[in-house]
Amino acid sequence: MNISIFGMGYVGAVSAACLARDGHNVIGVDVDPTKLELLRQGQSPIVEEGIQELTREVVEQGRLTVTDNADESIGGSTLSFVCVGTPSQPNGSQDLKAIEHVAAQIGAALAGHDHYHVVVIRSTVRPGTVMSRVRPVLEAHSGKKLGEGFGLAFQPEFLREGTSIRDYDNPPFTVVGGDCNRTLDCIKPLFEHLPCEFIGTDISTAEMLKYACNAFHAVKIVFANEIGRVSQTLGVDSREVMRLVTQDRQLNISPAYLRPGFAFGGSCLPKDLRALLYIAKEQDAEVPMLTGVIPSNQQQIDHALQFILRSEKRRVGMIGLSFKSGTDDLRESPLVTLAEQLIGKGIDLRIHDPNVQLSRLIGANRRYIEEKLPHIGRLLIDDCAELIRESDIVMVGLSDAHLVEQVIAEAGEAQVVLDLVGMPGRDRLKAAYRGICW
């Protein structure tokens, strides 16, 4: 394939060399004459393991050429990658001047060519940028419409400095957000030889993915360092602690818990986190990220509360009271906290939880309701269908399949379903739907 790459910085230079090595004809485009001259001589403008040898090889083979002329590059290619910088401005927002300038150049070049051209943004940008900022510029300067004269996509890059060529050849996945299947089909052949899955998605999801991954990496580093600081004050080997943490592939390093949903609760997580924070305080170890976990968890409860209060609907049915499905454990359940706040705001609340029914409860849980939550106990309803029928808002706090199906079957058009668990089959709902954070 004939490919243009706009921006011969770190990502652009590595991508150009690797794509050319894989047999494609690559045109590198940049405004910096020094970079262009280095590349013409077979020298990469960046410092990276193996990049000089690879660049020299593909330039000598004629697979990689360079220019400062956008029209020349677009005329000689069917696909363009945009790899220019999007630096931070003083307030933290992105400076998009470079990416908009390149989009204008590409658009003007497209105006003079008849072939369908795919533009792939690789620069990290705020979700919505490709469609709201790049697309209008391309359309205005080309006189063509998206999907007719050109395709548009976003592909997040995950190249680490120092190991970028190895990362390019062994990615965990290849994710591309495209405007349509035609665009994705044009991009897929470039990467389908890699030992990973090619995943096509929408553009905004792909844009947000890059931020989510980088934020998660930052959180992991800070988490390990905060555990390290606390461990050090106790004379514990934090490296060994974290080595063992990462041995757990079922819960620790896995999809477990990494799904947007409601707040955490139960008998372990809140209690143990508070204990760890107390230890840190005792030992004068500063752990600001861990300290922020419980307030952030409370924000998820507040988020649900504010949605209900803003709706101005007064009759709310809550499906679920225990801290998760399959248990009657009410200890530190976020649903209990939310129920108490709703009651305090004067909401007409009814609750159904098949595992929390006064007629069936025994032992500690029965005493807990009778002594600590008698006002909530009086709101429990055994019949889920009755609760749904009598509610303006049906809040789904349990993921049990039979409860979800009952909500889908019973909730009507005049009602709103507030989903805290990610219920399957929601496309079959007659009621209005709202996810807690999706």
Residue 37 annotated as lining a ligand binding site: no
Give the pairing type, strands 79-82 and 2-6: parallel
Residue 314 annotated as lining a ligand binding site: no
Residue 12 annotated as lining a ligand binding site: no
Residue 97 annotated as lining a ligand binding site: no
DSSP code of 247? T
Residue 274 annotated as lining a ligand binding site: no
Residue 194 vs residues 64, 70, 298: alpha-carbon distances, Å: 21, 29, 43
Assess whether 268 carries a catalytic annotation: yes
What does the block give as tokens for 421? 């668990």
- Using DSSP's 3-state secondary structure scheme, residue 356 falls into coil
Please state whether 415 falls in left (phi above 0), alpha (psi between -120 and 50) or beta.
beta
**Which are the contacts of 419, defined by CB distance < 8 A and separation ≥ 6?**
396, 426, 433, 434, 435, 436
Residue 436 and residue 420 in contact, taking contact as beta carbons nearer than 8 Å: yes
Catalytic one of 180, 196, 268, 437 = 268
Residue 30 annotated as lining a ligand binding site: yes
CA 309 to CA 312: how far, in whole Å?
Answer: 6
What does the block give as tokens for 382? 């055994």
What does the block give as tokens for 222? 């800070």
Residue 324 annotated as lining a ligand binding site: yes
Residue 257 annotated as lining a ligand binding site: yes
Side chain identity, residue 387: L
Residue 210 annotated as lining a ligand binding site: yes
Residue 422 annotated as lining a ligand binding site: no
CA 30 to CA 28: how far, in whole Å?
Answer: 7
Residue 420 annotated as lining a ligand binding site: no
Residue 159 annotated as lining a ligand binding site: yes
- Using DSSP's 3-state secondary structure scheme, residue 249 falls into coil
Residue 161 annotated as lining a ligand binding site: yes
Residue 322 and residue 333 in contact, taking contact as beta carbons nearer than 8 Å: yes
Residue 313 annotated as lining a ligand binding site: no
Residue 9 annotated as lining a ligand binding site: no
Residue 220 annotated as lining a ligand binding site: no
Give the pairing type, strands 348-352 and 64-67: unpaired
- Residues counted in the chain: 438
- Residue numbers in the known binding site for substrate are 158-161, 210, 257-261, 265, 324
The residues annotated as belonging to the active site are 268
- Residue numbers in the known binding site for NAD(+) are 30, 35, 86, 124, 161, 271, 331
- Residue numbers in the known binding site are 30, 35, 86, 124, 158-161, 210, 257-261, 265, 271, 324, 331
